[in-house]
Structures are given as structure tokens and as C-alpha cells.
Structure 1
């Protein structure tokens, strides 16, 4: 007959403490996973969907395995659980090394973004989640065995797991990531897992030989964590929102040109001695088209997104004042000031969500610029009819709304959806892009102008940084795009912009 350890020897509070701590740690890892993968594939609905699915899959396998372990004699089950915690510590500490070593090859070899995101998530975070999922059933069974009110113990263990998950989510988002960064956070969780392993070994009455053997596992986890900590930082600064990097684009120290990379995407280029020169097509259009429409320098503007603050900096250099920028991340603004020659005294900067900032603003603006749309990371709440209604309310009578958009020229579904949504609000909607026939499969940059009247010209030439001509697309062509795409108005309830931008797994 199997003999179990007397329940009184394992205080319920200790099992609850273990359950809550391990659950909290596993959720911290899940949140950090999104932050760590972002520099390689960006942050989007698809990123979080893949991460959550992979982590839940790991938990599921771990719970199943833990249930089988829990069927053993209690002390033996706890000793095995201690080893799974050592494994959780090693794989958690190693997640950083795996991403650094394999993220580049994975992204380069897997062309489909969704598959690449899922592969990276699985590579780095499936095993940590699997091993972290083992203790829950073991600890719960240990808490129930031999107790007169085992049902209450069961409820307490489930509650501890849920409370731990809540605490871990809050700690990751509000404490660990913004204060310590992703790598250090994973090392903290590694230490928690090692501590949990030692408790499990103690409760499982591990032999002295078992403790000595566990030191090897702890040494591996420690060495792996140290190696991860010694890696050069990917980010110049890691904020609550982004990984921000600066890349030098010029070898001339007296004529510096710098690129800002936010997560994995370029968010602006600025030149030290040429504030009026834009270096990307979308920035060139967002700079030149509103000025063309205003025909003067005395106009007010509201900018959605800061980045390097290239357009506000250029406009301030031209003598345009009354510039307001809504940039949600203060670290982006700090980087723009310190590394991209942005003078914050020329602009009123609001560090909050652009939609909220615009709704709270007083008065009207002659120009509203939407510069927060990049690849699949486009903020969907800024492309809906409800938001465009707000934009219309905040524009002066002869004002103009200019927003950039990227879409696959073979589909143009996202372009069609945004155009038809703007048409539901504005009498005139123009689509501008670089002159010239697009290549098959090209992801082209567009700027949409929405207002009460059409532009006085159909083409302009500006610097990006070499001279480039932009033109407005014909109405008949746009109507054909809308018809072919069966474009529908985007709303706060349904705005699948990332899906429309060409990431349908059936079409690639």
C-alpha cells in the first residue's frame, strides 16, 4: 500500500504561497515574451495572439504532465516537481540567448509573418511555460490529500493560482519591465523558480545526494542567466511601450543623420543640419502635402505620433508655430530631444493616446497629421469612423487631415477600407503616392488627404532626400479598388486593419 506524507507536515499556507508565486512568475514571463519578441517582429494583435497560444499550450502540457506526477507518493512527486522548477529556471534564463541566436535566421527563413511570430514564440517560451505548468496539479493534490475539508483546499489552491496570475500580470507591466527591463526581469523569475525548486526538494525530503545534484542544475541556470545579462543590449532604451534604438546613417560627424528604430520598425530619420529634408516617402508627403493645402505658414496643427519629430521640427524651422504632438511614449520624445535634434520648446507635446489627446483638446486645428501607422502595428482605433468623426469635429472649415498608410499593391484591401471609411465622413478623400508604376508584391506607402475640398494640384515634387514626385490617384482607380475589395466602413466594433494589410494566411 502506498503511504503518503502526513498532510500536517505540509502547511496549506506554504502550498498556497508556492502556487501563487509560480503562477505569478509564469505570467510575468508571458508578458515579457511580447516585449522581447517585439524587436524582431513588432508588436501587434498577431504577436500577442501567438504568444498567448504558445504559452497556454505549454501550460496545458505541463498540467497534464503534472497530473501524472501527482499520482505518485507525495514526497516523490514534490522531488520531481523540484526538478521541473530547475528546468523552468534554466529555460527561462536561456530564452534571451535563444532569441539572440535564432531570431534573425527564423525571420529570414520564414517569409510569412504569422508563422515567424509563432516560431519565435515557440522557440523561446514554450518550454519555460511547460515546466512552469507542472507544479499546479502536484501542489493541489498535495494540499488535498488527507485533509478533512479537501474541497476547501482545492478552492484555495485554484484561488491562489488566479491571484498569482493577476499579480504577475500587474508586476510585469507596471514594475519589472519599465524598471528593470526584459532580460533582468527574466533573471528575477529564474531566481524565483530556483527558490521554488529548493522548497519542493525540502518538502519532498530530498536526500543530501539529491541536494548536491540540484546544485548542478542551479549552476546551469545561474551561468545561463549570467551569459544573458552579459549580452549587449538590443535597446538604447526600453520603455513601457517600446524598444528604442538609434542607428547612425552617416559617417560624417559634422553632418549626422540618424534613424530611430522602434521595436523592429523604422520610425523616422533626421539630419542634424537639414531639418527640412525628409528621408522617407511618407514623411516627405506628410510634410509637403499639408503645406501645399494651407498655402501659408500661419496654421495650427495636431500630429498623431512623434517618432523623431521630423515633420514638427521641419515646420518649426519654417516658422510654423502652434504645433501640438500626441506621442504616447515619453521615452520616444526624450530620444528625439537627445539624439534627433528636436527642440521641445517649439512644440506642445502631449504624452497620451492620440485619440484621447485630440478629444480633450480645445479649439480647432487647420491640419491634423496621422503619423502612427507602420506595417502591421497600425493602431486600429485610429482608423475607424468614430475616430474620423472626431477628426472632422476638430478641423477648421478649410482644414485637412493627412494620414499615411502602407498596403500591398496586389490587394489594396486596407487602403480601400480606410478610404471608404473616410468618405463616410469627409466630402473629399484623395490618395497620394509616389509617381511610377508599382512592382508586383510591393508594399507601397500612401498618404490620404481628407477635407471639405479637393487639392488645387494633382502632383508635387519634394525631397526624400532626393527629388521625388508624388501624385494623386484617379477617382476611377480608387472606385475600382473599393469595388474589387468589397470595402466596408471600419468601426470601433470591427476594424481588422492588420488582416486587411495583406497577412491573410491563405494569400501570401
Structure 2
């Protein structure tokens, strides 16, 4: 028996809906739990569990109750559950997020339950479609294989379409909430068409269910994750972004779940010892360039431009020839610096590009370079942490130029930190590490020539804000022992398990309760 052509469209829609919900789940969870590999593992794992259980139960129900209306009712229910996500999801995720501050293990546990509660049920119901349709369409076993192949092919094509359309069209243009609502509407329409085809008089009212996504859509956009003092909020191609005014008068740029601040402007542009940004103002003094007439620096991973602004604000007087530029991969974030963080775009422009691609293509030679890029909130992009990248960067520095690299590590014995230091040392034999007080930040400053730390001592004798930071830096200098460095590995383009090293560190924090 050949299935009705409409059924191919039906399984196409349900297949697309599964992948749309999976893609939307990552964006929906990002403001609360981030987009780390751990969160992605929960999303993919739970979706696969829901699909497996749905296939299993769908097959059993199809054999026991081979009724078309049960199939279409399951899809309609999946549509209603999906439509509930924009309404109830923020509240559920907010409640689960309440206890995660400073405890990474909770991100693993609570993101698991958040996805389980909100996204697994509709995917589970959608998974019952394939065995039901196959059972109801394949009564003639002589062509059952052909029927099964065609149905699964159309379902898979729908999943492919759902993946690309969601990633490249729906979420960028409509946002996560409206993408989910649109998916809900498509499922309810498909279910209503099927139910009224089975029995128009009995199931005519199923079309009224469209009022649910319609009302949700007309309700308009709501704050994804309301915060006190919210100044700006949007979803970008790369992340969920908020700018907020903090109670102390500072302005903060926050990504995803808000586990860390990406850019910060304090009242009066104050330099604070626990802010690793503050120590970047020392780089012009360590660059080995005695001339104040011409000096160039670059910040890779500029975000809102805090580092650019502080160096420009505090060092321009001592180095009037200072020229700065930043590199930021997210075009939306690159525009926030002048608006919220005091950045002067004429003096400190930010280029929109991938950091490594920018360095490779650049014709500039810099006196100092800052690498402060993070992907998915907690991971250093591996291609910005390898021996090959540092070699390329070194080729774009002056002979006595320096490179500064910010590393988040829970302790001096962190394999991630030691591996990065061992890798840096392969290219820059001279380096110092500043352990930023009251934080997990380690600032690595490295060069191919000996670093003029005497310049810091001379600077520390002064009374300026930068002099105070110089004294803090000298008080918190640290250098690993040769035995410690042996425990690290040289990261290369071929093998750089940055994500694994970071995840191991998170589990270490969870197990030992380490505090900065």
C-alpha cells in the first residue's frame, strides 16, 4: 500500500520540528546556563533519549491502537507543549538557575532538568510519528521496506531543512521565542488537517487550537531573562547578549547565563586590582618600545572594548603616539563599545573578524597584543591557543613586542593553565604570570626578548592609578616550576583539547569546592 502523498509532507514537518526544537533549545538555555559543551551534551543526549523512548512507545501503541486520530492528536499535543515553552520556560529555567552561581556542577544538573522538563516532552511525542505512520501505511508487507525507506527519507530531509532554516533564517530573523511559536503553529496545523480528514464533524474544533500560538505571537517579544537595570538585550548569531547597569554604578556586558562579565565600565573608569582588565594598562610600559611617538597595540576578543578604553584612557598621556585597534567576531557586540562603554571609535576602532584570520591577513606590526577571546562563555577557542597561532602572532610583533593572554584557571596546577604556558614558552621564551587577586584570572605576559620588569618597578614608585596597578602586579607575580610545566602539553592545531581540559577543571571545582 502506497502512503498518501500528504503523509510525506506530514513526516517532513514533524522531522523539521524535531531539529528546530533542538536548535532552539540551545538558544533558549543560553541565557540561563550558557552554551558550553556540557550544556550541548545535555541537549543532544536528552533529545536522543526522548526520540528513543518515543520510537519505542510509538511502535507499541501503533500495534495496540492503530488509529489515525491518535497519531494526529499526539502531534497536536506536541505543538501545544512547544507553544508553552516561551511562556513557562523562562520561569522554569530561572528557578533552576537560582543556585548555580559559583558552582559549575549545578549547570550540568539543572540544565539537564530544564531541557528534560521543557523540550523532551514535545520531542518524545514527535518521535511516535514514524512508527505510527509506518504501521498505518504499510499493511502490505510486500513493499513495507520501500514504504519505510520513503517515510524515513522524507522525515530526515525535514530534519535537514529544520537545521539549516532554523540556524540561518528563523532564529536570526525572528528570535528563539517566535521560532518555537512558528514551529508550534506548523505542528497544530498538520494535526488539525489530519484530524479533520479522519472525521470532519468530530474534529473540526482542532483548528481552534491555532489560537494558542496566535495569541502567543501577538503577545509580542518579552525579555528573555529579565535583570535589574537592563539597558540592552538581543540575540546575535553567536550568543545571547545583555548590557545592564549594576547597583554600584558600573555598566556590564553579559553573555548567555551571566556567569561572567565580558566588559565592564566602572564609575570614573576606576582601575580595580581584582579586575584583570586593569593590568592591561601596563602593556605599553612592557612593550620594550622607548619611543612615545609611535606605538601600536591590538586586542583580540575586544567585546565591548573595556581593555581598549582603559589603555587609551590611562596611557595616552605617557604615550601620545599610541594607536589601538580591536578585533571582535560578533558584529552586534562590536557596536556596543561606543554606546555603553566609553569607547571612541575614531581612536580605538574595532574590526569585525575572527581573531586568527585577522592576524594572519594583517600587514601590521604591533608593539603589544592582547588575546582575550572566549567561546561559549568558558572555552578559549582552541585555534587561538596553539603553538601555530602564537608563532603567527609573534611574526606580527616587534622584536621586543609582548603578548598578553588571559586564562581562567582554578589553581596554579590547572592542566589548562600549565598547557597554555608550556605552549606559549615554545614561541615566547620569556614570560611572567600575574595572579589576579580574588579571581580565577591568570594574566600571562610573554615576549621573545627579556621583559623589562624594571619598568614596572619604576612605574610603581609613582602615585597614578596605573602606578598602583603596577605595585599590585609586582606583588602577585608567579612563575611555574619546571616540574609543573612538565605536567602540561604543547597545544597544536592538530591536537589542542582545550574543551576537555576546561571540562576537567569544572569537575575539579565541583568535587573540591575550590574558591578563588
Pair in the same fold by TM > 0.5: yes
Residue 298 of structure 2: aligned partner: 302
Match of 1:247 in 2: 244
Match of 1:396 in 2: 398
* Mapping for residues 157-176 of structure 1, pairs under 5 Å: 157-176=151-170
Question: What's the offset of the Cα at 1:480?
Answer: 4.7
Structure 1: 5+ residue stretches without partners: 1-6
The aligned runs of 1:59-138 (5 Å cut-off) are 59-72=51-64, 74=66, 76=67, 78-109=68-99, 111=103, 112=105, 113-138=107-132
CA distance in 1, matches of 2:160, 2:272: 45
Match of 2:334 in 1: 333
Whole-Å separation in 2 of the counterparts to 1:384 and 1:116: 33
Cα distance in structure 2, aligned partners of 1:411 and 1:90: 50
Cα RMSD after superposing both structures = 3.0
Match of 2:174 among 173, 180, 187: 180
Cα distance in 2 between the residues matched to 1:55 and 1:22: 14
In structure 1, what is the Cα distance between the partners aligned to 2:74 and 2:46? 19
Contact 2:283 2:368 in 1 (8 A): no
What residue is the counterpart of 2:380 in the other structure? 378
Report what 1:46 is aligned to: 38
**Displacement, 1:329?**
0.7
Note the alpha carbon deviations across 1:62-112, whole angstroms, 9 max, x for none: 1112212332565x1x21122211221122122234432132332344641
Q: How far did residue 420 of structure 1 move?
A: 0.9
1:24-43: per-residue Cα shift (whole Å, max 9, x none)? 12111111111111111222
SS in 2 for 1:237: strand
Match of 2:428 in 1: 426
Compute the displacement of 1:267 (Å): 0.8
What's the TM-score once normalised by structure 2's chain length? Answer: 0.84
Change (3 A) 1:378 1:108: farther
1:207-286 to structure 2, matched below 5 A, reads 208-212=201-205, 214=206, 229=220, 231-234=222-225, 236-249=233-246, 257-263=250-256, 264=258, 265-270=260-265, 274=269, 277=271, 281-286=275-280
Q: Which moved more, 1:292-301 or 1:22-31?
A: 292-301
Contact 2:430 2:451 in 1 (8 A): no
**Equivalent-residue separation in structure 1 for 2:75 and 2:467 (angstroms):** 55
| Aligned partner of 2:16 among 24, 39, 55 | 24
Contact 1:43 1:377 in 2 (8 A): no
Matches within 5 A, 1:346-385: 346-373=347-374, 376-385=378-387
Question: 1:27·1:165 contact (CA, 8 Å) conserved in 2?
Answer: yes
Q: Give aligned pairs, total.
A: 481
- Separation in structure 1 between the aligned mates of residue 150 and residue 170 of structure 2, nearest angstrom: 27
Structure 1 residues 444, 479: CA separation in 2 closer, same or farther (over 3 Å shift)?
A: farther
Q: After the TM superposition, which of the residue ranges 388-397 and 171-180 deviates more from structure 2?
A: 388-397
- The structure-2 alpha-carbon separation of the partners of 1:394 and 1:358, relative to structure 1 and needing over 3 Å to count, comes to same
- Mapped to 2, the partners of 1:97 and 1:378 lie a distance apart of 34
Contact between 2:80 and 2:188, CA under 8 Å: does it hold in 1? no
Distance 1:151 1:422, change over 3 A: same
Q: Deviations over 1:278-323 (max 9, x none)?
A: 7962211223234433455422222211211122233444245543
How far apart, in 2, do the equivalents of 1:410 and 1:368 lie?
A: 23
Task: Report the counterpart of residue 501 of structure 2 in structure 1.
Answer: 500
CA–CA distance in structure 2, aligned partners of residues 406 and 69 of structure 1: 51
Question: Hey, what does 1:287 align to over in structure 2?
Answer: 281
Contact 1:412 1:481 in 2 (8 A): no
- Structure 1 residues 79 and 403: CA distance shift in structure 2, 3 A: same
> Aligned equivalents of 2:493 and 2:43: distance in 1?
24
**Distance in 2 of aligned mates of 1:73 and 1:180:** 39
> How far apart, in 1, do the equivalents of 2:110 and 2:400 lie?
45
**In 2, Cα distance between the equivalents of 1:159 and 1:279?**
59
- SS of the counterpart of 1:469? helix
Higher mean alpha-carbon deviation, 262-271 vs 323-332, is at 262-271
| Counterpart position of 2:229 | none
Structure 1, 25-34 or 97-106: larger mean CA deviation? 97-106
Alignment check: 8 A CA contact 1:93 1:225 kept: no
Distance in 2 of aligned mates of 1:310 and 1:183: 31
1:3 is aligned to none
Deviation string, structure 1 residues 238-284 (Cα, Å, up to 9, x no partner)? 11112111111368xxxx7411112123111125864x857962211
Q: TM-score, normalised by structure 1?
A: 0.85
Between the aligned partners of 2:48 and 2:236, the Cα distance in structure 1 is 26
C-alpha contact (below 8 Å) 1:270/1:279 kept by paired residues? no
